[in-house]
């Protein structure tokens, strides 16, 4: 299924080279002011700018509201947002019909969807689908900024920042990017996300732990290969006496923050910290050699979805 969330539920749809991509957001409270301009900064950031080292595809990414907004405010009903696809050249992808691209979802899509998937530009697997996820994030952040979540009336200012801390193994990200440009290759990186002003008590032990829920949505982003909270993988090398965060005050403030703000699956009010590993983009001028498999020739009628 292409949905996430119980109270503020998002559902993404669309294909890279179809009419549009988009999102339905169900559960957003009524009365939140929303307009096109609210989305500009984050959508621009998603595109990666116009500079070197980014995708050549240029789209306006203007959100078109189809439902759930009335007189400039949310109505409390499902919000549907479309982003039209304009800069598409489908003919470029005809060769995919016989050569599944390494690192891409072409081959698994063909296996699972029997040759009926829209293969142009990765179709539904395209990172272009993150447009809808970003749009939903804009709305979610706006709710948080107002100190209002769908579930609670807590009046807490929350700040969320995510930044690239490493590209191609270089902590000087400019240097890592330059290395990739010179090598005419794509390159991976690390992103760190820090949330300040966290309320205490978000999350549950076990399957709805804050880590479980965040990891579920983080791995929805194409190309993510790992996630770690707080000290993360480095914690595996530590002694308990080093790792344990001493609680210094009734507020729950800890001296260190090895736990990354989550204990027992529940936020403890300290900064929420996690890092994600992004693999290098599969599309790269340096082609990986592989035989032509001629795989798109055995479509069968009406394949069964297996999960």
Q: What residues from 14 to 33 belong to the interface with its own copies (CB under 8 A)?
A: 14-15, 18-22, 24, 26-27, 29-32
Under rule CB under 8 A, residue 100 binds its own copies: yes
Under rule CB under 8 A, residue 94 binds its own copies: no
Q: What are residue 290's phi and psi, to 5 degrees?
A: -160, 155
Show the site string, 111-130: x = touches its own copies by CB under 8 A, - = not: xxxx-xxx----xxx---x-
Are the C-beta atoms of 22 and 98 separated by less than 8 Å? no
Helix, coil or strand: residue 272? strand
Pairwise CA distance, residues 276 & 204, whole Å: 22
Tokens of 182: 């010179």
Residue of 108, 124, 111 lying closest to 1 (CA atoms): 124
The DSSP secondary-structure symbol of 255 reads S
The DSSP secondary-structure symbol of 304 reads P
Among 150, 162, 193, 194, binds its own copies (CB under 8 A): 150
Where in 204-243 is the site for its own copies (CB under 8 A)?
Answer: 204-209, 211-213, 215-220, 222, 224-233, 235-243
Residues in binding contact with its own copies, number by CB under 8 A: 157
Q: State which residue, 5 or 40, has the beta carbon closest to its own copies.
A: 5
Show the site string, 168-207: x = touches its own copies by CB under 8 A, - = not: xx----------x--x-xxxxxx--------xxxxxxxxx
Helix, coil or strand: residue 140? helix
Under rule CB under 8 A, residue 45 binds its own copies: no
Among the listed ranges 43-51, 52-60, 155-163, 244-252, the one in contact with its own copies (CB under 8 A) is 244-252
In angstroms, what is the minimal distance from the CB of 270 to its own copies?
A: 11
How many Cβ atoms from other residues are within 10 Å of residue 286's Cβ?
A: 8
Q: State which residue, 178 or 212, has the beta carbon closest to its own copies.
A: 212
Angle at 250 between CA 248 and CA 256, to 5 degrees: 30
The DSSP secondary-structure symbol of 170 reads B
Under rule CB under 8 A, residue 157 binds its own copies: no
Among 38, 40, 75, 257, binds its own copies (CB under 8 A): 75
């Amino acid at each position: 299924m292409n949905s996430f969330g119980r109270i503020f539920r998002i559902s993404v749809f669309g294909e890279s080279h179809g009419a549009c991509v988009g999102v339905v957001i169900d559960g957003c409270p009524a009365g939140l002011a929303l307009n096109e301009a609210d989305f500009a900064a984050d959508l621009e950031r998603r595109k990666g700018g116009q500079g070197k080292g980014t995708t050549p595809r240029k789209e306006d990414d203007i959100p078109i509201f189809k439902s759930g907004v009335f007189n400039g405010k949310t109505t409390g009903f499902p919000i549907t947002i479309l982003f039209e696809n304009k800069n598409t050249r489908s003919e470029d992808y005809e060769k995919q019909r016989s050569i599944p691209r390494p690192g891409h979802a072409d081959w698994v899509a063909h296996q699972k969807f029997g040759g009926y998937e829209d293969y142009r530009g990765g179709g539904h697997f395209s990172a272009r689908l993150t447009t809808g996820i970003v749009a939903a994030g804009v709305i979610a952040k706006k709710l948080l900024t107002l100190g209002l979540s769908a579930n609670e009336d807590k009046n807490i200012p929350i700040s969320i920042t995510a930044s690239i801390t490493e590209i191609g193994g270089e902590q000087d990200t400019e240097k890592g990017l330059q290395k990739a440009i010179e090598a005419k290759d794509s390159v991976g990186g690390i992103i760190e996300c820090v949330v300040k002003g966290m309320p205490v008590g978000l999350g549950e032990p076990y399957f709805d732990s804050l880590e479980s829920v965040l990891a579920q949505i983080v791995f929805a982003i194409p190309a993510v290969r790992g996630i770690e909270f707080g000290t993360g993988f480095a914690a595996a090398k530590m002694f308990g006496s080093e790792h344990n965060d001493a609680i210094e005050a009734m507020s729950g403030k800890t001296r260190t923050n090895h736990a990354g703000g989550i204990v027992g699956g529940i936020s403890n009010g300290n900064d929420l910290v996690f890092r994600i590993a992004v693999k290098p983009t599969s599309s790269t001028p340096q082609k990986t050699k592989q035989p032509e498999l001629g795989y798109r020739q055995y479509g069968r009628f009406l394949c069964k979805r297996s999960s």
